[in-house]
Amino acid sequence: MTPRPALAFVSLILIAGAILLILLTLLGGAINKNPTNKFYFLEADTTGLGTAAATSRWTFWNVCSVMDGHNACPKVHAAYPFDPKRNFGTSDIFGYGKHGVARSWGKEGTGSKYYLETRFMFAFVLIGLFFAVCALFLSLLALCSRIGSFLSSALCSVALFFQTLTAALMTAAYVQGRSAFRSSSRTATLGKYNFGFMWAAVAALFLATLLECVGGVTGKKSSERSYTKRTGGGGRGFLGMGRKKSTRSRGSFIDPERQRRMEKEDDD
């Protein structure tokens, strides 16, 4: 029995889990309800920085204040960038005022690097999510088809690529941002849920891609072994029928009447 259905089922669960984790990360900041109001990328002390609250949290959709340990998020904006100068409408954030954060944000006081990283991050996560959903549906086909395993693996690998890019950009932008805040003696922490969800989704998609490939390859080998057993190891003939060796002797093809005449002539 081929192990492909079992591998496809495990892959199906992994892909579904990755999609769930990505969706939970996307919902943080968009819905002010438990548990999504605990999800954020970075929390930092922003006291005295323009229009910022005392403590701010960045999500995919906005920068939120904190109330009783939960996000208190304003209006939603797609692909909201991590760029304190634009977020709070002040140049003090870059070290030009008494409340400023260290100049590590940029030599000329511009946060363009963080801005671009987080903007592209939003686009990549949506692309990865789309391919992950497509791979999920093809995983159902992989339960009964080797071709389905390979197709699902291909789409899953594309989703893995974009999800890895998203997680890498997230890490680069917010880890450096945390360091910039801390270098100005301000407290800053990474969001454990969002970081855990995003990297866990990468791991799940990687394992799903691997299992789908293994399922397709082992399914092929199992089919070949099954065919060999059915045909007894013989080659294929016309219309796939195995050739059978003739057991008749060459003499059996001679006309019996002609054989008797030849024997009678020999006697004469």
Q: Give percent of the chain with pLDDT exceeding 70.
A: 72
Cβ pair 5, 139 in contact under 8 A: no
- The model's confidence at residue 237, banded by pLDDT at 50, 70 and 90, is very low
Is residue 190 pLDDT above 80, yes or no? yes
Q: Which of the pair, 239 or 259, is modelled with greater confidence? A: 259
Q: pLDDT for 199-213, tens place per residue?
A: 999 999 999 999 988
Helix (H, G, I), strand (E, B) or coil at 137: helix
Beta-strand relationship, 42-45 and 70-72: unpaired
pLDDT at 220: 54
- The model's confidence at residue 88, banded by pLDDT at 50, 70 and 90, is confident
Cβ pair 51, 45 in contact under 8 A: no
pLDDT at 109: 39
pLDDT at 86: 83
Is residue 223 pLDDT above 90, yes or no? no
* Distance, CA of 113 to CA of 75 (rounded, Å): 24
- 43, β-bridge pairs: 57, 189
pLDDT at 195: 97
Least confident of 59-63, 90-94, 126-130, 138-142: 90-94
Is residue 67 pLDDT above 80, yes or no? yes
The alpha carbon dihedral of 44, 48, 51, 55 has a sign of: positive
pLDDT at 96: 42
Is residue 227 pLDDT above 50, yes or no? no
